[in-house]
Amino acid sequence: MSYSDFEDPIRNTKKINEKKIVSKLAKIAQANDPISNELYTKYDVKRGLRNANGTGVLVGLTSVGDVVGYKVENDKKIAIPGKLLYRGYDVADLIADAEKHNQFGYEQCAYLLLFGKLPTQDELDEFNELLGSLRNLPPNFTEDMIMKAPSADIMNKLARGVLASYSYDDDPEDRSLSNVLRQCIQLISRFSTLAAYGYQAKRRYYDYKSMYIHNPLPELSTAENFLRLIRNNKAFTDDEAKLLDLALVLHAEHGGGNNSSLTVHVVTSADTDTYSAIGAAVGSLKGRRHGGANIQVMEMMDDIKENVKDWTSETEIREYLRKIVNKEAYNRTGLIYGLGHAVYTINDPRASILRDKAAKLAREKGLEDEYNLYKIIERIGPEVLYEKHGDGKRICANVDLYSGFIYSMLNIPRELFTPLFAVSRIAGWSAHRVEEIVAGGRIYRPAYKNILAEREYIPIEKR
């Protein structure tokens, strides 16, 4: 029997217009799934897991982190100054201590989140040594899992790298605490390498630029290694690395209620492996309503800088912001990106810290005019939103308003902004996975109300 006796499935496949068929199916799906707002009200559905007063629906308990922006009295939210707590410690104190001792703070932050205590110097040194020893990817991983299947979006590449790590783990299914900790510490160490190498592959195969694959150095911090790996000359200053380190500390954790941390809890509760849980979190963080928001800010700022001729004119800036809010300019969503937060009301403490750092760096880079434009938008943007919506809710700048600006001044490519968020947040995700394993024990199973009555089946010849 010869090969010609078999049908060639590719040669004999009937050509179809896939785009046309899928477009038709999409119209059917869209027409079939509308649900009116009245039904959500009728059944008291907590859309977005939010209560009617704007607070989050309580679905769990955590001791990993806390986001403080309001207090509730008589079922009403009362705005208070924002705080971000890691294991009960104010993140501002962690940053101040690192600056006082001229140390990198992210590794200490990761230790605190994982183990619930501040490390001694000896414990921190041992932890840093462990992280440093794990930064290299497994043999052939870079070639087989990154270079052979590059991605235009580095977050997708990062998620694939996390899932592929399962295949390089000698004991990927062991759910014991010690093994999960081993896996999490490896991922904390390697996320910067995965993101940097994904970026280099993207440069080569999508941007048609040179690709530089440098080895991470065990003695360097997460921030230092990341800058080393993304730059062709491997060069960076201590000030650059310390500023990036500060940003990593600020993004490492944000309570259990944010979308990606909740994803870790939900997927972990199903009793699956570490790589599946963390890979799902990466997918969540990629979303433009979550970690992808800092890129939205930068794209909005590009548009504002192009259309506002006088960056010092509050009148001109205000008028253009009104156009954005009225869906007449930029992307017609009516949103001013970088303003507003689900919890913070008076201030986002992360934005406050980054604003001060951005001011110093902008002076050094000769970008004070651009920095002042951000400051004006932060100040008058809430007023423009109030004019439009008039709901009385206090709006403040969130961390995304200044984080992208700082990254751009550090010459970090824009496509790495959200992956950098993941490089930091893997510490918080790991802590939440451990917490769910230790203290959870029940699979998440919320309810959905079916609103379609049972129907009698129609045989195909009668349809």
Q: How far apart are CA 202 and CA 149, in angstroms?
A: 10
- Helices (H), ranges, 101-221: 106-115, 121-133, 141, 154-165, 177-205
Catalytic residue selected from 66, 245, 348, 400: 400
Which ranges constitute the DSSP H helices of 13-147? 18-32, 37-42, 91-100, 106-115, 121-133, 141
CA dist 283 and 260 (Å) reads 8
**Cα 168 to Cα 228: distance, rounded to the nearest angstrom:** 25
Is 137 strand, coil or helix? coil
Query: What is the C-alpha separation between 83 and 65, in angstroms, rounded?
Result: 11
The single residue of 66, 341, 348, 432 carrying the catalytic annotation is 341
DSSP state of 339: B
**Helix-helix angle 222-230:177-205, to 10 degrees:** 20
254 catalytic? Reply is no
- Annotate 382-395 with DSSP letters as a single string: HHHHHHHH------
Residue with tokens 């959905």: 448
Question: Following CA atoms 239, 242, 246, 251 in sequence, which dihedral angle do they give, to the nearest 10 degrees?
Answer: 110
Annotation marks residue 101 as catalytic: no
Q: Are 435 and 63 in contact (CB under 8 A)?
A: yes
Active site residues: 341, 400
